Structure 1
Amino acid sequence: MRALVLTLAVGALTVSACAPTAASGGGEVAATGGRECFFTRSVSGFSAPDNETLYLRVGVRDVYEMRMFAPCLDMDWAQKLAVVSRSGSSVCRGADATIISPGPLGEQRCLVRAVRKLTPAAVDALPAGSRP
């Protein structure tokens, strides 16, 4: 009996240590191990200044920059894109995301190599046409 109670207590501690925590801002952005994550359902706009860079508006005020592994043809001309998380419903790093974009020969899947949240100053420094 004592071993069972100890096992349950250790299991509960393990599960609670793995539980995500929400940062301020309505839970749309969560800090996980120093990384800032966002939920794909919170993406409200985008801009693509070229075929290798994508800026996402997340919620009302946050902007994330995504860098592609290779050029994502015609991403800069797309009217709509899909951000797909490969690790659930959130994106924390490049390996978590795939961009689906209409291309010249149909739908294309573009792998993301890097994701970072931009500071308000970095967002203000973006050219007007590049802001999502």
Structure 2
Amino acid sequence: MRPLTASAVVSALALAACAPTETGGSGPGMAANDPSSGRQCFSVSQVNNYTKGSPGQVFLRVGRSAVYELQAAGGCQDLDFAQQVALVPDGGMAGSRLCTDDWARVIVPGSTSAATVCRVRISRQLTEAEVAALPPRHRP
């Protein structure tokens, strides 16, 4: 297996962002609910910031105000110092829509070595009060 280069990571992110999505009728930059399952969903292209929380925890800013919590299966190495990451839904490039309880991969390009990949589960969308209660260093 060949290690991923930074350009491969950027290409994977670009491809995932261009994949067709079903947003449940929401406009650009807005998170959507999946009425059939009651889950909260978003498109990878809507993610505009991220921060690492406590060990195994990542927070995503989606659109203007939605914040999602991701839980890593294991740890996400090198995330503290990453300038960019790729979020790729499990199952390949079939689409870029993610909902709570879905699994995805966070790809962190290495500066001097291969990229680091960690598997994450989209745990939940935080309420406005929960976002406000986050320590400033954890707020995306």
Q: TM-score, normalised by structure 1?
A: 0.74
Distance 1:49 1:20 in 2: 27
Aligned-pair RMSD on alpha carbons? 2.1
Match of 2:24 in 1: 21
Distance 1:49 1:35, change over 3 A: same
Larger Rg: 1
C-alpha distance in structure 1 between counterparts of 2:54 and 2:130, whole Å? 18
Counterparts in 2 of 1:105 and 1:52: CA distance versus 1, 3 Å: farther
Q: Counterpart in 1 of 2:131? A: 123
Contact 1:51 1:73 in 2 (8 A): no
Q: State, as a whole percentage, how many aligned pairs show the same letter.
A: 37
Instruction: Give the alignment of 1:88-107 within 5 angstroms.
Output: 88-103=95-110, 105-107=113-115
**What 5-or-longer segments of structure 1 have no aligned partner?**
1-18
Uncovered stretches (5+) of structure 2, i.e. residues with no partner: 1-21
Q: Where do 4+ consecutive residues of structure 1 move more than 6 Å?
A: none
**Distance in 1 (alpha carbons) for counterparts of 2:138 and 2:23:** 32
Which one of the candidate residues 117, 125, 139 is aligned to 1:109?
117
Larger RCO, structures 1/2 (Cα 8 Å, 6+ apart): 2
The equivalent of 2:84 in structure 1 is 80
CA distance in 1 between partners of 2:115 and 2:56 (Å): 17
